[in-house]
Amino acid sequence: MTISARAHVAGVMGWPIGHSLSPRLHGFWLREYGIDGAYIPMLVNPDDAASVIRALPKMGFAGTNVTIPHKEVALATVDEADERARAIGSVNTIVCRPDGSLWGTSTDGFGFMESLKVHQPDWNAFDGPAVVLGAGGSSRAVCAALIEAGSREVRLVNRTTHRAEAVADALGSVVCALPWSDRDRALLDAAILVNTTSQGMIGNPPLEISLDHLPPEAIVTDIVYTPLMTPLLKAAAARGNPVVDGLEMLLHQARPGFAHWFGKEPVVTEELRRYVRQALGS
């Protein structure tokens, strides 16, 4: 497809960025809908993140996605952020407005909930406590989405307890911060377990947790998608728990940004899933 001088341009900023599947994903949609546009990866040093974000309108960008480690800087840099982004404390999607101002939001929570709707449509937030591992930006988004869906108890477990406590302070009494040493016992009577840490991801150490206390009907999900079936998901599936990998969250969190930048509400299809999985070798 030929790109004209009038093309809408967006991208993804990160450090590193070579692992990102977002250019492949958005590129598929641009070709699928015949849109005159481009979506490019941008390797941005953390020291330059704020200045690059502020320069986006001057360079003619429609907006950008923001990934690790720039999400918190993005929130501090945009001119306006929605309530969800402020509650979470980070931005992963920036829109350049016609007047040159920057608006930010977070779509991670939306993507997470959509992944559950697709793969576990019978799950209900009232079914029981949720256990979330990790206290980074993605964890905040997942916790906020669970609360919005109606969860009455979110057990947040993190290696550094004070970070989990900070998330609990920001999101309210529904979130209970627990030390990492309590991660096994936290699974008692849980209805869903969500791993938001990088443990289990290719190139990272495995997640060390026993699932012995986890009810057999509890859903286990991992936001990591390299590999699709992490050791955690394999262990959960082996004992009969329903599992959800991180690919669906990736696909659905991209939808709002694409709609903002390119004026088309995209659809996640089986063809798209197969195309993205090809890049993962699965």
Kindly list the catalytic residues: 71
Q: Around Cβ 160, how many Cβ atoms within 10 Å? A: 11
Phi, psi angles (nearest 5°) of residue 252? -80, -30
Identify the burial level of 14 via C-beta atoms within 10 angstroms of its C-beta, where 0-12 means exposed, 13-18 middle and 19 or more buried.
Answer: buried
Amino acid at 54: R
Query: Distance between CA atoms of 264 and 242, rounded to whole angstroms?
Result: 33
Query: Distance between CA atoms of 53 and 102, rounded to whole angstroms?
Result: 9
Here the tokens at position 126 are 């009232």
Best CA proximity match to 226, nearest among 194, 204, 251, 255: 204
Query: Distance between CA atoms of 249 and 175, rounded to whole angstroms?
Result: 22
Q: Supply angle C-alpha 243, 249, 254, rounded to 5.
A: 165
